[in-house]
Amino acid sequence: MRIGMIDWKKDLEILMSKLTEGKLSKDEEKQLEKILRSNPEARNYYLSYIDVDTALEEQIGIPNFNIMNLSIQETSVSIAENKSNSVFLGYWKLGISVAAAIALLLYLFNGNPNSATATTIKSLLGSVKIIQQNGNELMNPKMGTSISTGSTIETVSMGSFVELEFPDQSIFTLSDLSQCVILRYDSNYRELGDLQFYHAATPSVEDNLKNWAEFNECKTLTISEKKLNLVERLKGNETTVINYKNDSTGCDVELWKVAGGIHVEEYSSEMKKMMIDWILSKKKIYK
């Protein structure tokens, strides 16, 4: 009896690890069902495991918008479509608006920092204090300021916000009253204080868009410079629209890129309407 209990627990532990990674095979799914069907204790373990996993996502994780991205994957256009599909437009609307918002929030463009620089200030709001390794304060830090290894960065007021960009274009954010030390940077690691970050090959927003376009066979690229006015504080049309289209399949993939945009932006009152109108003008393709 005891051995049996240990056996299911061992198996279930392996299965749960794979489940949370999304790597359960068909056979393993069957094995999971079998263990849970026959054993209330196993069900309790299963539920607790997912509870802890979900709670860790809530506590540590950054909101996961893969769900929203999935909407984009399924989103494309079909000319002939019946009215019952309109419910999907809603699904889309939420999906794409969040995905587009994320793209807009995350997308920041700047020149490449030079190779000797550990990191560069990508955007800045409020006050930030930078003490270099030699103890001297780096005066007037602003967007584009290079920061060398060993410097300490400190946001000195509530509401302050600084984004640091690393040579591989990854971003680290510091906000309100916080501090970090840039210990080192190489092509595989960046080390901030006692935190090490391993650089996974994460595609840029534009590469991501290109991937979606290729996936959906959207072949025609149109770049409309300064087409939209989305941000209150920036005068005129600051947003470039990058669009991949294929009229024969109806597919349509688009990125709105804010020149001079920062992480947290005040968008114009028209922005939401423009986004929703864009989404609602599309329909869903069924493959």
Partner 1 sequence: MQDKNQPFQLDEEFVAMLTEAQQRLYGFILKRLVDHDQSNEVLQLTNIVLCRKANDFKKGTNFMAWALTVANFQILSFRKKQSRDRLIFSDETFEQIVEEDGKRSDDTPSRLFHLKECLKKIDKEDSKLLKMRYEQRLPFKEIAAASHKTSNAIRIQAHRIHNRLMNCVEKRMR
- Using the rule CB under 8 A, is 27 a contact of partner 1? no
> Closest approach of Cβ 172 to partner 1, in Å?
11
> Closest approach of Cβ 162 to partner 1, in Å?
18
- Using the rule CB under 8 A, is 286 a contact of partner 1? no
- Using the rule CB under 8 A, is 29 a contact of partner 1? yes
What residues have CB less than 8 Å from 36, skipping those under 6 apart? 42, 43, 46
The Cα–Cα gap between 261 and 104 comes to 8
Contact between 232 and 268 under an 8 Å Cβ cutoff? The reply is yes
Which residue of 36, 174, 218, 262 would you call a contact of partner 1, by CB under 8 A? 36
Judged by CB under 8 A, the number of residues near partner 1 is 57
- Using the rule CB under 8 A, is 232 a contact of partner 1? no
Reference 202, options 191, 193, 211; nearest CA is 211
Q: Provide φ and ψ at 235, rounded to 5°.
A: -75, 140
- Using the rule CB under 8 A, is 270 a contact of partner 1? no
- Of 1 and 200, the one with the shorter C-beta distance to partner 1 is 200
The Cα–Cα gap between 255 and 164 comes to 23
- Using the rule CB under 8 A, is 5 a contact of partner 1? no
- Using the rule CB under 8 A, is 24 a contact of partner 1? yes
The Cα–Cα gap between 251 and 246 comes to 5
How many CA atoms, within 13 angstroms, populate the side-chain half-sphere of residue 160? Answer: 17
Which residue of 3, 60, 139, 158 would you call a contact of partner 1, by CB under 8 A? 60
Query: CA torsion angle for 103, 109, 115, 119 (degrees, to 10)?
Result: -70
Q: Which stretch binds partner 1 (CB under 8 A): 51-59, 116-124, 158-166, 251-259?
A: 51-59
* Touching partner 1, residues 173-192 (CB under 8 A): 188-189
The Cα–Cα gap between 84 and 272 comes to 25
Q: Which stretch binds partner 1 (CB under 8 A): 120-128, 157-165, 196-204, 259-267?
A: 196-204
The Cα–Cα gap between 201 and 198 comes to 10
Report the interface residues with partner 1, using CB under 8 A. Answer: 13, 16-17, 19, 21-22, 24, 29, 32-33, 36-37, 40, 43-64, 66-67, 70-71, 86-88, 90-91, 93-95, 188-189, 194-198, 200, 276, 280
